[in-house]
Structure 1
Amino acid sequence: MIDFIPSFPTFLLIFVRVTSFFLMMPLFSYRTIPATHKIGLGFMLALIMFSAIDAPELKIDSVYFMLIIKEAMVGLFIGFIAALMMSAIQIAGGFIDFQMGFAIANVIDPQTGAQSPLMGQYLSIIALLVLLTVNGHHLLMDGIFYSYNFIPIDQLMIPFGKENVAEFVLLSFNKMFLIAFQMSLPIVGTLFLVDIALGIVARTVPQLNIFVVGLPIKIGVSFLVLIAVMGALMAVTSDLVSTTLATMRGLMEIIGGA
């Protein structure tokens, strides 16, 4: 304990980065996890990282408080990028819901407290199971651990305002929408063909109320196609975890000046 006291400022900086990362990180940021559990897990993880990282001893002065702000921003930024990439599943569900006609029936996501599309909620639950199956939560925690290889704990200046950082975030945002479009393309494309067929039927058989018949047909076709492509969706979700880790690494390299 006596040896730990001089290193307590360094441990506090590690604790700030880890807990800030948990505020934005997928799975650990969910509201259903009690705050005491998050703090306890962050404390234990910071303690393990403190014993494994060769961090310098720091003194509490004016520069130290700036380091606390820097560590909080680094943790939030890395967690934001991870959450941004994983939100591609919710966007894909929104695309599917819009074509199915479920867009008017959004539900409250108990994990985030925000409105979520029905199919997005369904795919998110499955993606969460895939994330846990492939040990993605361990890999995400490895990401915050190895962030000290790119962003040292005593590095004060972080180039958040540089052009390459903003460009990287925009490219990641673009990649997220591209992945969401690829995930929803089989169902959205099929429903587009169904809409064309229903339009032809409406013109050839005007006596048929196409609005009454069309919605159940689109819902039924959507579920059939979803069952058919579920394996491919899970493969894309598994690749999304590795894409998230690669994006986190790229961001840390840019911020750290590597």
Structure 2
Amino acid sequence: MLGFGLSIEPQLWALVFVMVRIGATFIAAPVFGNVSVPVTVRVTLSGAIGFLVLAAHPIQPPAQIFATATVLAVAAEALVGLALGFVLQIAFAAPVIAAEIIGGSMGLGFASSVDPQNGQSSPALGQFFSIMLTLLFLSMDGHLVLVEMLVKSYDVMPPGAAWLGVDRLRGIAFFGGYAFLAGLLLALPVGFLLLCLNIVVGMISRAAPALNLFSVGLPASLAVGVVALAVGFPAMGDYMVVIIREGLEATQSLVLG
């Protein structure tokens, strides 16, 4: 008997309680939290992983449903799940920042469309980088690593003692600067060439004021940017792998300790 005479199977209540942390992670995490992933799929995955957690850990849910302790326990579980997904989402924001830098220098800043991954408008180049990062994340079994961290999180922070400390919350906030650093480093090869091109175009415009700068500079920036992307993308892909590893390691260290 739980709460006000509500007869609920204890195993079902334990499964629902476990699914709170898992579902919150899937809401905030990349790939799982995309708009293209139906809610039914997320709930089904949460339930399947919840069965694994119950089989590996003896979870004791709160005794009553309508109680202050239960509300606080559910909020703590949701906080841990959101932190697990949010830290990884910060790392996935780096390609979008890099696309803003490169696209602005190439003259593609106006080329934007609705991203089917998150349902928001983003640069076309940013969508390309995000898709590549997602494919690399799946090829590295990052989704399986995230599920493994979810299951192990019940060893580090069992239900009832899952509140994140101030140090961990501050570390998660400071990790937001990594997205800007990684985005800048990711855009550095192409951005440096475009910067050199802009310097050359500026010198030409000073030497020949009658020359139409827009008729020369914009096509040259676009052509040099496309060639630089084609040449430098293998190195950019290697750094995307580093971004994924850093994101997974930060998720484990900042949230799980």
* 1:17-56 aligned within 5 A: 17-56=21-60
Measured at CA, do residues 38 and 57 of structure 1 come closer, stay the same or move farther in structure 2, by a change above 3 Å? closer
Q: TM-score, normalised by structure 2?
A: 0.90
Question: Aligned AA for 1:38?
Answer: R
8 A Cα contact 1:150 1:252, kept in partner: no
Corresponding residue for residue 168 of structure 1: 171
In the alignment, does 2:106 pair up with 1:106?
A: no
Corresponding residue for residue 132 of structure 2: 126
Corresponding residue for residue 210 of structure 2: 207
SS at match of 1:107: strand
SS at match of 1:13: helix
Corresponding residue for residue 229 of structure 1: 232
Alignment equivalent of 2:87, drawn from 58, 81, 89: 81
SS at match of 1:146: helix
In the alignment, does 2:74 pair up with 1:60?
A: no
Corresponding residue for residue 180 of structure 2: 177
Partners of 1:145 and 1:180 lie apart in 2 by 31
Corresponding residue for residue 241 of structure 2: 238
8 A Cα contact 1:21 1:76, kept in partner: yes
Question: Aligned AA for 2:156?
Answer: F
8 A Cα contact 2:15 2:47, kept in partner: no
In the alignment, does 2:97 pair up with 1:94?
A: no
Bigger mean CA offset, 6-15 vs 45-54: 6-15
The structural deviation recorded for 1:43 is: 1.1
Partners of 1:178 and 1:189 lie apart in 2 by 15
Corresponding residue for residue 187 of structure 1: 190
Partners of 2:254 and 2:34 lie apart in 1 by 23
8 A Cα contact 2:35 2:119, kept in partner: yes
Partners of 1:129 and 1:38 lie apart in 2 by 19
CA RMSD of aligned residues (A): 1.7
Question: Aligned AA for 1:25?
Answer: A
Corresponding residue for residue 155 of structure 1: 161
Partners of 2:63 and 2:210 lie apart in 1 by 82
Partners of 1:127 and 1:8 lie apart in 2 by 37
The structural deviation recorded for 1:57 is: 5.4
Partners of 1:218 and 1:212 lie apart in 2 by 11
